[in-house]
């Protein structure tokens, strides 16, 4: 083929270091805008961003040239730097790992709704339970002693 055609949506999930509840409502929206801007500068599109005080979900559209590991490295590094400068929490860090789940076109709207409803969702279910369920639903093997 003379050109590349790609539909690549990834549902990213990453948490604060030790799942500390650092992300406050007063600046959460600005953090999400920062993450969206970082992705836009990479040529990716942050379609939907949401989360809770200890983690963030991002539904993003990537290009063929993107490497998932590099996208996460840059998003986490640059956004934690933003938190240090703009919010003044100099000890703020993201956990080293992350989740990245492919999303088919027919699942975009349910995933968007799921990400937008994180606050309500976590009134019923802890982040750890949510994450284990996503891993299981995706068929990803894991050892729980290395999750937290």
CATH code, 83: 3.30.70.1290
Domain contains 3: no
Residues 134 and 131: their CA atoms lie apart, in Å, by 5
- 49-58 pLDDT tens trace: 999 999 999 9
Residues 35 and 49: their CA atoms lie apart, in Å, by 8
- 15-46 pLDDT tens trace: 999 999 999 999 999 999 999 999 999 999 99
The number of domains in the chain is 1
Model confidence pTM above 0.85: yes
> Could you list the residue range(s) of the whole structural domain that residue 17 is in?
9-146
Domain contains 4: no
Domain contains 73: yes
CB atoms within 10 A of CB 86: 12
Beta pairing partners, 55:
15, 52
For residues 68-93, average pLDDT: 97
Per DSSP, 147 falls in state: T
Domain contains 33: yes
| Helical segments of 43-117, H only | 68-82, 108-116
Q: Are 30 and 86 in contact (CB under 8 A)?
A: yes
């Amino acid at each position: 083929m003379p050109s590349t055609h790609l539909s690549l949506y990834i549902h990213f999930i990453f948490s604060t270091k030790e799942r500390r509840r650092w992300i406050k409502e007063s600046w959460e929206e600005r953090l999400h805008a920062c993450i969206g801007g970082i992705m836009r500068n990479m040529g990716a599109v942050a379609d939907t961003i949401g989360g809770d005080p200890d983690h963030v979900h991002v539904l993003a559209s990537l290009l063929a040239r993107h490497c998932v590991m590099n996208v996460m490295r840059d998003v986490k590094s640059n956004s934690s730097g933003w938190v240090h400068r703009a919010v003044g929490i100099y000890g703020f860090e993201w956990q080293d790992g992350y989740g990245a789940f492919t999303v088919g076109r027919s699942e975009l709207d349910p995933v968007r709704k799921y990400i937008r409803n994180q606050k309500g969702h976590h009134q019923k279910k802890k982040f750890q339970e949510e994450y284990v369920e996503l891993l299981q639903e995706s068929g990803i093997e894991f050892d729980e002693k290395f999750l937290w």
